[in-house]
Structure 1
Amino acid sequence: MRLYTFDDYRLGAQADDGRLADITDLVSADIAPRDRMTALITHWDRLASQVRGAVRSPSGPALFDVTVRAPQPRPRTLLAAPVNYLRHQAEMGGDGGVYADADIKTIASYAGFVKASSSITGPDGAIEIPFPDRRVDHEAEVGVVIGRRASRVPRERALDHVFGYVPLLDITIRGEEDRSYRKSFDTFTPIGPAIVTADEIPDPADIAFRLSVNGQERQKSTTRHLIYDIPRLIELYSEAMTLEPGDIIATGTPEGVGPISPGDQVVLTVEGVGELTMPVVERP
């Protein structure tokens, strides 16, 4: 199932004919608009059958008639896996790399970092470049959306806690500051256009994805090449902190990372999940 947030943060589920079933009324009217998706995920076990019923007889708008926003605009926690592909490690510290000749450690050393959830934007927005004199890079990733509370979860049960998957861009300013600062600027975590529920993904250990800039392919890989796979990431992070429904884990980026500038168009395609297109602009 494909779940959207649209217009004034209403909730929609996509039917086979491309229309959206408006399922906003399934969550409490007291919920803040940006928290509706979290509420839906939290109560999914109770609401899923009603959502499926709504999809079978949709009465909402066509997808092209609405403003599609970030499908999960306000997760409580947004976690990211640093240097989780070996070839990305090599390109960062190798000849001509951003940090040439540096000792680039992998996720085995760094474990993870937190991004500000306010950095999330959706297909209705743009990637904003804050400083004209700093290099800003694209990083193509798969986002994992947590579906139920996870605390000290062993890897063999980790996928039971996954609600779904979403295309995710981890935009990064290069420099000496801490990752959490350089990656948390507003608009630096585009996601969308939809969350695809976990039952639609036959093998999360082999989700293929690719990224292009202005039509030129730059990144192409699969979750099969992760150093820490998705179950291991959930095991690792839930050992340190309790993950809640709606939280997002960015799984890491492969080789091919490169700079973006105002005027560029970035397209991230995740097989079976969706295609996210984002323009790049100067920060107002």
Structure 2
Amino acid sequence: MKHARIAYDGAIHHATAMPGDDTRLRLADGRVLREAEVVWLPPVEPRTVFALGLNYADHAKELAFKAPEEPLAFLKGPNTLIGHRAHTVRPAGVALMHYECELVVVMGKTARNVPREHAYDYVAGYTVANDYAIRDYLENYYRPNLRVKSRDTCTPIGPWLVDRDDVPDPMKLALRTIVNGRVTQEGNTRDMIFDVPALIAWFSSFMTLSPGDMILTGTPEGLADTQPGDEVITEIEGIGRLVSTIAAGQPNKEPA
């Protein structure tokens, strides 16, 4: 099943997708609404957000980096997350702002020292993220700083949380990004360097993962700059189609 969190009629609601029609959603009270009638929120209330750098070999090569030998992980603040059909701000004066289509793993149970063969037992489901990066401030691809990856609005996520059991193999999903109607990025989750079970086993080997924690699993090659007014769609097979629009930041809002 596909689940969503939305704002409608002055309240926050949990909803599900209508069978065979992701453009309509049903509220718990039975009302059916269209996609454009609601404000979409992240499908999971933000908790700890983990992210991976250089988790696709083709992306590492694209950036002239050697593929990592262990996961390159960093944290993101919950302030970064926004919903489907929302606006992401491009800071004034920056030269490069790239999209990143990513499969997101949402934890469903408390996990500590989980062996990889049991990792999927701890997953609630999957969603889509577009983890924009401001390359101007990047000092090291191995450790992206806060101004690169933790800006307000920089990570649209959703629209749906898809139940784990409705995704037969999360490691065989096609990904793509479409900017203003043109396909600019294509890949497949099978090309991850560290797959979903490996990531859950690795994180849980040194810390406790909790229900609602999210792991953004990295992006394949095919990055391009985005500008104010661009419509950016990140799609993952069987998971969903996430739309965001780039908005221009105000010069007086940016630090010197």
TM-score normalised over the length of structure 1: 0.79
* Aligned match of 2:169: 203
Of residues 46, 63, 67, the one that matches 1:75 is 46
SS in 2 for 1:259: coil
SS in 2 for 1:59: coil
* Aligned match of 1:176: 138
SS in 2 for 1:220: strand
Runs of 4+ with >4 A deviation: none
* 1:13 partnered with 2:20: no
Q: How far did residue 127 of structure 1 move? A: 1.3
The one-letter amino acid paired with 1:184 is S
Structure 1: runs of 5 or more not aligned: 24-57, 94-103
Equivalent residues, number: 239
* Aligned match of 1:52: none
* Aligned match of 1:28: none
Q: How far did residue 238 of structure 1 move? A: 1.2
- Report if the CA contact (8 A) 2:54-2:72 is conserved: no
| Distance change in 2, residues 1:214/1:17 (3 Å) | closer
Q: Which one has a larger percent strand, Structure 1 or Structure 2?
A: 2
Q: How far did residue 206 of structure 1 move? A: 0.5
Identity of matched residues, % = 36
Distance in 2 separating the partners of 1:107 and 1:247: 24
* Aligned match of 1:152: 113
Q: Cα RMSD between the aligned structures?
A: 1.8
Q: How far did residue 240 of structure 1 move? A: 2.2
| Distance change in 2, residues 1:232/1:110 (3 Å) | closer
TM-score normalised over the length of structure 2: 0.87
SS in 2 for 1:131: coil
Q: How far did residue 130 of structure 1 move? A: 1.5
Distance in 2 separating the partners of 1:155 and 1:274: 26
* 1:279 partnered with 2:241: no
Structure 2: runs of 5 or more not aligned: 251-256
The one-letter amino acid paired with 1:228 is F
- Report if the CA contact (8 A) 2:85-2:242 is conserved: no
* Residue-by-residue CA offset, 1:4-45 (whole Å, 9 max, x unaligned): 11113311123427554434xxxxxxxxxxxxxxxxxxxxxx
Of residues 56, 74, 85, the one that matches 1:85 is 56
